[in-house]
Structure 1
Amino acid sequence: MRLAWSGVVAASLLAGCALFKGPQMSQTPSESLWQERRAALERIDRFALQARVASNGSLGMKGDLRWQQNPDGSFDLRVAGPFGVGALSIVGTPSLVEVRSREGSQVTNEPEAWLRRKLGWTFPIAGLRYWALGLPAPGSPAVIELDAEGEIAALEQDGWRLEYDEYQPAGPVSLPRRLQLAKPEVTIKLVADRWDGLPGVDTAQPATEPPLQ
């Protein structure tokens, strides 16, 4: 379990902007640690993530997720259920992607809406590249809550609430191990089993844990 949160650090803060204190106010230790941590995380321009995902509600799904993030901003996301059922890939950039599945392929700038319409489930593709690292996505307001180590314990952005239950060592930084993403209609649990391809790091692999419940 995470340590008790140190409190809300920023309300309606534009992610990507620095956290500022007034001239008469000093930062708490957790806020100072967050500033250092955030700078290190923002330098991560590439990674390969292997994870397990499970969601409930009307958009329920369960399977394996693989995300390849490239330095040029492009990515390759693959999701597959048990034994490859419901496999799909989403390849492209934040502004334009190609979605491939048994239903065929389509180029779209709204992959989340496409998934919901065609497959009956969805997840936050736009923000996940940042949220998986424990960062707010740039360009939209975010509310974050920090723990004593300066790691994000909870994040609210773009209609989603994320709760970070566990972090794991990954070279010079710690990265999320277990997190939960929730909207009124769906809750998604994600367990990061393996981080590869981080700048200056070969592999970060935790011990094996039981399947998602």
Structure 2
Amino acid sequence: MKSSLRILAALAPLLLAACAPQQLVRHQGDAASLAQQDAREKQLAHADHWTLQGHLFVSNGQDGNGGTVTWTQNGDRYEFILRAPITGKSFRLTGGPDGAELDGLDGGPQTGPDAEALMRRVLNWDVPLGQLRAWVMGTRAAQGGVAQLSFDDNRLLSSLQQDGWDITYPAWDTTHQPPLPAKVFARKPPFMVKLSIQSWTMQ
């Protein structure tokens, strides 16, 4: 049961976090960088039907686990599927405005009024999934607090700090327009997570 919960914890921040390499931060953001970021965010404001696939690793400061992950977003509904690399066991988190369900635990499926409350109760993770949905796309969370941004030499986001999370973007997929993150690292001590995105499918 404990090993299942440790692996499942990777579903929580989905998505994110790890140590923020300082060399990624080039400058805080000139007018051109900020204008480009604003344009990206406007283009992605209504992007709510997509799928990302990749590899996820998460650590709580003592234990670490990971696997392949698929995140599908269909409007207000979402599905996260995490597959452990050795056992091949799958864990699935689904939900929407009507509640959330976590399946794959040894004790059977667990449900809750929303994903945040469910993960808080089952995994002891306090994760703002609404904000993470924006951060994984390299945008500020509209419902979050004031964000601090830094950019790389290509005027793409290199780091974002919002609501106590420190998110960095070591690599971008520029085959998409607008560009989308290829790697997303974030941390909120003691939690650290790495998300390496192999593919984005936008609908």
TM bucket, shorter chain: 0.7 to 0.9
Which position in structure 2 is the counterpart of 1:158? 163
Q: 1:23 aligns to what?
A: none
Bigger Rg over Cα? 1
For 1:82, give the aligned amino acid. Answer: P
Deviations 1:46-83 (A, max 9, x none): 1111010112323521111100101x310111112114
The residue identity in structure 1 corresponding to 2:76 is: G
User: Could you tell me which residue of structure 1 aligns to residue 45 of structure 2?
Assistant: 42
Whether 1:128 aligns to 2:132 is: yes
- Confirm or deny: 8 A CA contact 1:145 1:152 kept in the other structure: yes
Q: TM-score, normalised by structure 1?
A: 0.72
Bigger relative contact order, structure 1 or 2 (CA pairs below 8 A, ≥6 apart): 2
Local SS of the residue matching 1:104: coil
TM-score normalised per structure 2: 0.75
Unaligned runs of 5+ in 2: 1-20
The correspondence for 2:65, drawn from 58, 61, 65, is: 61
The 5-angstrom pairing of residues 87-98 of structure 1 reads: 87-93=90-96, 96-98=99-101
SS at match of 2:143: coil
| Structure 2 CA distance for partners of 1:60 and 1:124, relative to 1, 3 Å | farther
Whole-angstrom CA distance in 2 between matches of 1:60 and 1:146: 28
Asked if structure 2 preserves the Cα contact closer than 8 Å seen for 1:6 and 1:30, the reply is no
Stretch of structure 1 that moved more, 174-183 or 57-66: 57-66
Q: 1:6 aligns with which of 6, 24, 27?
A: 27
Identity of aligned pairs, percent?
22
**Structure 2 equivalent of residue 116 of structure 1:** 123
Q: Is the 8 A contact 2:54 2:198 kept in 1?
A: yes
Residues paired across the two proteins, number: 176
Q: 2:177 aligns with which of 172, 176, 184?
A: 172
Letter of the structure 2 residue corresponding to residue 174 of structure 1: P
The answer to whether the 8 Å contact 2:57/2:65 transfers is yes
Counterpart of 2:119, as a letter, is: E
CA contact (8 A) 1:74 1:92 kept: yes
Unaligned runs of 5+ in 1: 10-26, 200-213
Residue 21 of structure 1 corresponds to none
The answer (yes or no) to whether the contact 1:37–1:150 under 8 Å persists in 2 is no
Tell me the distance in 2 between the aligned counterparts of 1:68 and 1:86: 19
Question: Does the 8 A contact of 2:131 with 2:144 survive in 1?
Answer: no
